[in-house]
């Protein structure tokens, strides 16, 4: 059995869970149009749909909520929040937003002009959607290994500098408003970028006058993986590595719903005072006043505490170890997963697991349904459904990775839950030949289609139907 280190917390409050029967789940999934995203959470037993906003707050965070200053303008809580972001991430100008995509909207509107090009280390759906809605084309410049589930490359989030150079050479620096980096890379399975590669990417971009912005949603998890894997960083603290990751970049967009152990919130953090002033102006239009950005004062207080807790080594060690435990259990049982195991999730390589389901019939969405039916475990498709259509040609994108992601909320589930998830996935994989067909769209929304799409089995009434 893989190691499961004890958690550095104990449980003070519980949220009862409802258990369901197979019949209950079949009915719920049909009503949800074969899209686990449309299930009611009461019909889910272990919810690994996302680690975003699903974290358990500490008693210190709950206490901080009581200190929330709900003044409309200039709330004390904003200054507490601002100070925490400055201290731990190292950027001067801190602009609150309601969550990550609020920041993506503002940054894209500030910098992107129609016809421009944004290179980045793999796309993320909401990030790319904002870039495309503002008229840019995204270019994936991540290392090739990131698209290979089996590659053991320790830094699958790294930028391939040759690919970045080629994009700059093809379109010219003037047509590139910024480079969009992420730490860790979610769509590759929570894979880290090395400190050295962030520095090299920034040096190359800056030499052409192109700024670099970092998606820091899971940069603390990235820092922990740097400490484990990157030569020269083993003795540094996670807090020091986090600062080192951010230091060469021009700014960051943050969803505080991830690393920062909060249920809502985010920020844009910048070095350039002129850009910061422009961003504040748009925050006033789209989010709220520039000292709350769509958050309450108590949200900002809870985030400030969460930021400090997120870099505590006992916390981050246990958090990533829980993810590794689940991944190792699946790996040892022969379930194909993305390797190395990432920071926030375990991803099942659904194309490898269900070779008899064509890519166009969405094998990862199909596996998501199968594991829900088996035991009420919810994951999310991260493959062709999430990739969507090319906005210009309308053709379905077919990414190399066809993954079913199991994202683990922080400080929420126990080892017994992880064992239940592992046993469920192993059972579905053992009986995979019983899955007779994949899924096809019954309703396909235009934007971020994975959230609200409805499906039907390609043949028969169920994915298990052999007719």
Nearest distance from C-beta of residue 345 to ligand PM9, angstroms: 8
Shortest-Cβ-distance residue relative to ligand PM9 = 100
- Among residues 100 and 388, whose Cβ is nearest to ligand PM9? 100
Handedness of CA 38, 261, 424, 333 (dihedral sign): positive
Whole-angstrom distance, CA of residue 392 vs CA of residue 142: 23
- H or E element at residue 412: none
197 or 386, CB closer to ligand PM9? Answer: 386
Question: Hunting for tokens 């929040």 — which residue is that?
Answer: 81
Q: How far is the CB of 275 from ligand PM9 (least distance, A)?
A: 19
Helices 363-375 and 415-430 meet at what angle, rounded to 10?
120
| Residue among 298, 295, 217 nearest 256 (CA) | 217
Q: Minimal distance in Å, beta carbon 133 to ligand PM9?
A: 14
Between 97 and 244, CB nearer to ligand PM9: 97
Residue 315 CB, shortest distance to ligand PM9, in Å, is 19
Nearer to ligand PM9, 218 or 298 (CB): 218
State the virtual CA torsion across 454, 456, 461, 464 in degrees, nearest 10.
-110
- CB 221, min distance to ligand PM9, A: 11
Q: How far apart are CA 440 and CA 305, in angstroms?
A: 44
Residues in touch with ligand PM9 (CB under 6 A): 50, 52, 99-101, 124-127, 182, 186, 215, 217, 255, 257, 266, 407
User: How far apart are CB 380 and ligand PM9 at their closest, in Å?
Assistant: 7
- What are the helix and strand counts (H, E) for the chain? 17, 14
**Are 194 and 219 in contact, with CB atoms under 8 Å apart?**
no
Cβ 124 to ligand PM9, closest distance in Å?
Answer: 5
- Residues 286, 249 contacting (CB under 8 angstroms): no
**In the bound complex, what is the minimum distance in angstroms from residue 84's beta carbon to ligand PM9?**
18
Nearest distance in Å: CB 54, ligand PM9: 9
Return the number of the residue (72 or 451) whose C-beta is nearest ligand PM9.
451
Compare residues 125 and 189 and give the one whose CB is closer to ligand PM9. 125
Collapse the DSSP code of 192 into the 3-class scheme (helix H, G, I; strand E, B; otherwise coil) and give the result.
coil
Closer residue to ligand PM9 in complex, CB, 125/340: 125
In the complex with ligand PM9, the residue whose CB is nearer, 187 or 305, is 187
Distances (CA, A) of 18 to 56, 79, 136, 310: 19, 41, 45, 30
Which backbone phi and psi does 180 adopt, to 5 degrees? -105, 100
H or E segment to which residue 294 belongs:
none
Choice between 269 and 435, CB closer to ligand PM9: 269
Q: What is the sign, positive or negative, of the torsion defined by CA atoms of 157, 400, 398, 433?
A: negative
Q: What are phi and psi of 266, to 5 degrees?
A: 180, -175
Sign of CA dihedral 37, 40, 43, 49: positive
What are the tokens at 218? 């899971």
Nearer to ligand PM9 (CB atom), residue 182 or residue 370: 182
Q: Of 129, 119, 116, 127, which Cα lies nearest the Cα of 161?
A: 119
Determine if the peptide bond prior to 340 is cis (ω within 30°): yes
C-beta closer to ligand PM9: residue 29 or 183:
183
CB of 10 to ligand PM9, least distance (A): 27
- Cβ at position 404, least distance to ligand PM9 in Å: 13
Residues 132/388, Cβ–Cβ less than 8 Å: no
Beta bridge partners of 139: 119
């Amino acid at each position: 059995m893989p190691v499961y280190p004890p958690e550095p917390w104990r449980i003070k409050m519980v949220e009862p869970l409802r258990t369901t029967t197979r019949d209950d789940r079949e009915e719920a999934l049909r009503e949800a149009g074969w899209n686990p995203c449309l299930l009611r959470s009461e019909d889910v037993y272990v919810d690994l749909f996302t680690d975003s906003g699903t974290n358990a707050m500490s008693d210190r965070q709950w206490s901080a909520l009581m200190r929330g200053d709900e003044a409309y303008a200039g709330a004390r809580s904003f200054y507490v929040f601002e100070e925490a972001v400055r201290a731990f991430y190292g950027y001067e100008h801190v602009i609150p937003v309601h969550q990550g995509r609020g920041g993506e909207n503002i940054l894209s509107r500030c910098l992107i002009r129609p016809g421009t090009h944004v290179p980045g280390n793999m796309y993320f759906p909401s990030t790319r959607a904002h870039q495309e809605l503002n008229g840019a084309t995204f270019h994936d410049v991540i290392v090739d290994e990131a698209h290979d589930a089996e590659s053991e490359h320790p830094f699958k989030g790294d930028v391939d500098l040759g690919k970045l150079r080629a994009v700059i050479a093809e379109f010219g620096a003037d047509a590139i408003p910024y480079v969009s980096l992420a730490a860790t890379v979610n769509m590759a399975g929570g894979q880290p970028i090395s400190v050295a590669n962030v520095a090299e990417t920034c040096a190359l971009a800056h030499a052409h006058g192109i700024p670099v912005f970092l998606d820091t949603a899971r940069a603390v998890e990235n820092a922990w993986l740097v400490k484990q894997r990157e030569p020269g960083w083993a003795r540094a603290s996670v807090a020091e590595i986090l600062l080192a990751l951010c230091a060469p970049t021009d700014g960051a967009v943050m969803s505080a719903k991830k690393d920062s152990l909060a249920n809502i919130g985010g920020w844009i953090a910048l070095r350039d005072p002129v850009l910061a002033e422009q961003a504040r102006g748009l925050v006033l239009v789209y989010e709220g006043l520039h000292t709350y950005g769509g958050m309450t004062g108590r949200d900002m207080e809870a985030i400030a505490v969460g930021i400090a807790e997120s870099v505590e080594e006992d916390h981050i060690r246990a958090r990533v170890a829980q993810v590794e435990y689940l991944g190792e259990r699946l790996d040892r049982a022969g379930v194909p997963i993305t390797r190395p195991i990432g920071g926030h999730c375990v991803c099942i390589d659904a194309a490898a697991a269900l070779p008899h389901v064509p890519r166009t019939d969405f094998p990862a969405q199909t596996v998501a349904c199968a594991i829900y039916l088996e035991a009420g475990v919810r994951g999310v498709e991260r493959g062709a459904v999430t990739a969507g259509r090319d906005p210009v040609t309308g053709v379905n994108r077919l990414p190399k990775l066809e993954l079913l992601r199991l994202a683990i909320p922080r400080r929420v589930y126990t080892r017994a839950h992880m064992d239940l998830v592992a046993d469920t996935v192993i059972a579905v994989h053992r009986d995979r030949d019983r899955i007779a067909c994949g899924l096809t769209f019954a309703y396909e929304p235009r934007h971020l289609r994975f959230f609200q799409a409805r499906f039907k089995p390609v043949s028969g009434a169920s994915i298990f139907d052999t007719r």
